[in-house]
Amino acid sequence: REVTMAATGTIHLRFFARYAEFVGREEAVLAVALPATVGDVVRRVRDELPGGRGIPERPLAALNLTHVKLDASVQDGDEVAFLPPLAGG
């Protein structure tokens, strides 16, 4: 009888501007159960990192330097960046 182990992936997180201030760092690493989406990563960050609640439920996010929607899939080794809205001027 086989036991199926859930796959886990290591996601590299980057926080910019206000978001880095909220969580007190610019970079972090998060282990997630795969398959997972950017939205799953956002929920975990909001729930688990000190100050994470300062990040909105639907932030602008980039996956491996490309802007993505929250339903984009993440893989082991991916980078998710949290981008606060920029003030125009």
pLDDT of 4 reads 61
In 77-88, which positions are buried (b, 16+ CB within 10 angstroms) versus exposed (e)? ebebbbebeeee
- Other beta carbons within 10 Å of 40: 19
Between CA 30 and CA 42 the distance in angstroms is 11
Q: How many residues does the chain have?
A: 89
pLDDT of 55 reads 96
pTM for the full model?
A: 0.90
Q: What is the mean pLDDT of each run of 10 residues along the chain (89 residues)?
A: 77 97 97 97 97 96 98 98 81
Provide the β-strand partners of residue 80: 13, 63
